[in-house]
Amino acid sequence: MEDKLLQLAYDLLAILIPVLAALAVEYLRRRLGTEMVKRIQEELATKQELATLAVRFVEQVYKDLHGPDKYQKAAEWLASRAQEHGLKLTADEIKGLIEAALRQLKDAFGNEWAKQLQ
């Protein structure tokens, strides 16, 4: 009788241990995934804020520059600040962030922005 109970306990453990391990792995995977998504969102927000600052900085400091020259100054400033914060940016990311920041500022300030550029 004791042998049967002992065997039943072993069989039960043989089933429960893999199930519990699978649940633990799934919990950790989801938890780490959530943390990674949160970190990516924070990093993107920081990059977007730096891009907005880059556009504003260039508009204020380099009023005599236009078009590609102004973009180049903004890209250099953004790349430098990102590096200081330990953020990695590709040339395509820099261009996209600057263009998005410029569009956001133009949309926010509308006609006032256009008058300043003339």
70 pLDDT exceeds 80? yes
- The reported pLDDT for the residue numbered 80 is 94
- The reported pLDDT for the residue numbered 114 is 56
Q: Closest Cα partner for 98 from 61, 68, 118, 65?
A: 68
Contact 95, 75 (CB under 8 A): yes
pLDDT band at 115 (very low <50, low <70, confident <90, very high): low
40 pLDDT exceeds 70? yes
Q: Where are the domains of the chain?
A: 2-117
Q: Closest Cα partner for 77 from 89, 18, 67?
A: 89
- The reported pLDDT for the residue numbered 74 is 94
